[in-house]
Amino acid sequence: MTDRAKTILGSVFGYDEFRPLQREIIENVLKKRDSLVIMPTGGGKSLCYQIPALIFKGLTVVVSPLISLMKDQVEQLTELGVPAIFLNSSLSNEEYNRNVERLKENGVKLLYLAPEALLTPRMLSLLSSLRVDCLAIDEAHCISEWGHDFRPEYRQLVEVKSRFPSATCIALTATATPKVQEDIKCNLNFDASNEFIASFNRENLFIQITPKNNPASQTIEFLKKYPDQSGIIYCFSRRQVDDLYEILKGKGYSVRPYHAGLSDIERARNQELFIRDDVQIIVATIAFGMGINKPNVRFVIHFDLPKNIDTYYQEIGRAGRDGLRAHCLLLFGYADIQKIKYFINQKDDNEQRIANIHLNSLLQFTETEVCRRMPLLTYFGEDYTAEKCDMCDNCLAGERKLVDITVPAQKFLSCVKRTDEIFGANHMIDVLRGSQSQKVLKFGHENLSTHGIGKEYSRKQWFHLARQFIQKGLMEQDTKYGGLKLTGKAYDVFKGREFVLGILEEEHIEDRKGKGKEYDYDRVLFEKLRKKRKELADNAGIPPYVIFPDKTLIEMAAFFPRSEESLLRIHGVGSVKYKKYGAIFLDIIEQYYREHRK
């Protein structure tokens, strides 16, 4: 049976190898044992029921909460030549009836349904006249009140399960908390089930955290590294989204906003433009991303601090689903912590306690000097033992040497003292670097003896130093207004009784180094292939990645396949796609080869 699965993986999907746990899960499903699958976003959950669906004689019913996700999956499967349909209110009567006919003729392998659609008597009676071999429950955390997206209809799925005793059940989610896992198993009545919990380590994500000083220009600097690439920028508030959107638009970027203040139509349109590669960048509040499956998101920027690690991980998880390198940048500002604390203080006692625990885990992650994956994966209950991942800023910064930072500490602390311990780090750094900003002049701070005594360090370096002064207990930040105050320990440093050892950040961290499974490929040919893909996609009314993912085009532009056999060896090219598009892409490659490789 697994041989069949492996063959299908290659011939239909065009992939060489299973991702971790896929093989084991598929075997379990084929043995008709219930399975609970916990895998991070982009881990490859869908294949775990799609391949068995192609092997089972009967039907696989997939329950999914979002119409956009269903549509996306059905489009992708149809392109692969897999008979898959969905039935929902977005279809015309005619289309709906045609799909029902196909079902009755046993012409369908996968049927996608929203839970409420599955639960209608009409649907249940239709299904009971068919052979159902598998019930796949996607986004299974919707079953649990402890999850972030509880949906009551999910609770009734257990009745559906009992109506089809010969069908096996597979529940899938990216939510890792044990409480939610327990709820899923309990609600679905899983007894002899098997659990498959994949590692949450997404090796292709480069993780970087940078002190936030001038976020808009930091963002623009970052974007220069990724011209014409797709990415998402997450902001805290709608207003921030609108502001940043205007700035980026003004700079000529291909960008759209996304937040709850826009009309449904506008939001859907902006999302669609992004998915179809017509727009490269989305600036969004956390509301963006649930329903998208776009594999070639090359970067995610957190313009503001996320609420907790769960949210953060889910959001960066939207990058690099195709397995290629993707860059995740978080701009870390102390003022953001104040904002989050402000919201926490509005909650009741118990909620405050939980929210503070979440915030502290997040801060442990942002402040760490060791590999970022360490606190992150520990949070998800994993035992991460590698010393270095080579895919985070800390690992690439090399050995951090502790140096004597007593002098900058004295400068900074005395500046805090002279400005009466009511200002934040931003203003301190302005004074130290000799700024003539309005705020400096307004308070007469250009006349202080500390004005301009810290020009030897960049703003970025000063921010990093200030963070260390707080960590080392030399000063504290007022939780309400963010002003910095000295502690008793600070006075020992003034008087030269205490030395301060710490890290002086280098000006530039080389963040393009490190692992990343990228090939050296021909960019001109890639662009030609990409243009053709876009043209085909627009004609067919589907997103470009449904035709081929970027990785396929990159491999084409690296290996120059010039025959059926060699094209079939390229990632993402199965037999059906070969028949549909093989000749078109081979032509372009052949022509390009002749022109350039004589």
**Would you tell me which residues interact with ligand ADP (CB under 6 A)?**
15, 17-19, 22, 39, 41-47, 293, 295, 321-322, 549
- Is 41 or 468 the residue whose CB approaches ligand ADP more closely? 41
- Is 39 or 573 the residue whose CB approaches ligand ADP more closely? 39
In sequence order, the β-bridge partners of residue 281 are 231, 255
- Contact criterion met (CB below 8 Å) for 133 and 98: no
37, 181, 195, 251 from 190: Cα distances, Å: 12, 11, 10, 54
Q: Which does 43 bind (CB under 5 to 8 A by kind): ligand ADP, Zn ion, none?
A: ligand ADP
Residue 464 C-beta: closest distance to ligand ADP, Å: 35
Q: Which does 47 bind (CB under 5 to 8 A by kind): ligand ADP, Zn ion, none?
A: ligand ADP
Residue 5 C-beta: closest distance to ligand ADP, Å: 11
CA dihedral of 423, 428, 430, 432, whole degrees rounded to 10: 150
- Is 17 or 404 the residue whose CB approaches ligand ADP more closely? 17
In sequence order, the β-bridge partners of residue 301 are 233, 329
- Is 457 or 545 the residue whose CB approaches ligand ADP more closely? 545
- Is 188 or 392 the residue whose CB approaches Zn ion more closely? 392
Contacting residues toward Zn ion, per CB under 5 A: 371, 389, 392, 395
Whole-number Å distance between alpha carbons of 299 and 284: 13
Whole-number Å distance between alpha carbons of 51 and 282: 33
Q: Which does 340 bind (CB under 5 to 8 A by kind): ligand ADP, Zn ion, none?
A: none
- Is 126 or 290 the residue whose CB approaches ligand ADP more closely? 290
Whole-number Å distance between alpha carbons of 557 and 506: 37
User: If you write DSSP's letter for every residue of 232-251 in order, what string do you get?
Assistant: EEE-SSHHHHHHHHHHHHHT
Q: Which does 344 bind (CB under 5 to 8 A by kind): ligand ADP, Zn ion, none?
A: none
Burial of 516 (0-12, 13-18, 19+ CB in 10 A): middle
- Is 123 or 300 the residue whose CB approaches Zn ion more closely? 300
Q: Which does 371 bind (CB under 5 to 8 A by kind): Zn ion, ligand ADP, none?
A: Zn ion
Whole-number Å distance between alpha carbons of 324 and 294: 13
Q: Which does 289 bind (CB under 5 to 8 A by kind): ligand ADP, Zn ion, none?
A: none
Residue 568 C-beta: closest distance to ligand ADP, Å: 15
Q: Which does 46 bind (CB under 5 to 8 A by kind): ligand ADP, Zn ion, none?
A: ligand ADP
Residue 206 C-beta: closest distance to ligand ADP, Å: 18
Residue 551 C-beta: closest distance to ligand ADP, Å: 8
281, 293, 302, 407 from 42: Cα distances, Å: 20, 8, 19, 47
